[in-house]
Amino acid sequence: MAKGIRGYGTEVRSHLEVACAVKYGKADAGIGIEAVAKLYELGFVPLSREEFDFAVLKENVGQENILRFVEALSSDEFKSKVAEKGLGIVFNEDTGRVITG
């Protein structure tokens, strides 16, 4: 079955490279994120959701630039602007929550 899928044995290093391979006929399909698929005007079938964390040294958590970044991530304005782009990025209730351990 895999022999009939163009690009099946090919590995690339980024979501952009996956999209390029599909867009320009080097692969029939590939695993990537919705935002990049939309950028390249490709179809997209969601497989799962991923969550990402912003890692910072514990002693830097209280720095002004870090606090401003977290505040921006948490803001309704930021979430609205991201949603307007229609890239499939979803925020959850933990977005902007600081976790230390």
Where are the extended beta strands (E) located within the chain?
A: none
Domain residue extents for the chain: 2-39, 49-101
pTM of the full predicted structure? 0.71
Percent of the chain residues topping a pLDDT of 90: 69
Q: What is the CA radius of gyration of the chain?
A: 18
Q: And the tokens for 55?
A: 């890692």
pLDDT of residue 45: 96
Mean pLDDT, residues 54-61 taken together: 92
**Residue 27 vs residue 94, higher pLDDT:** 27
pLDDT of residue 56: 93
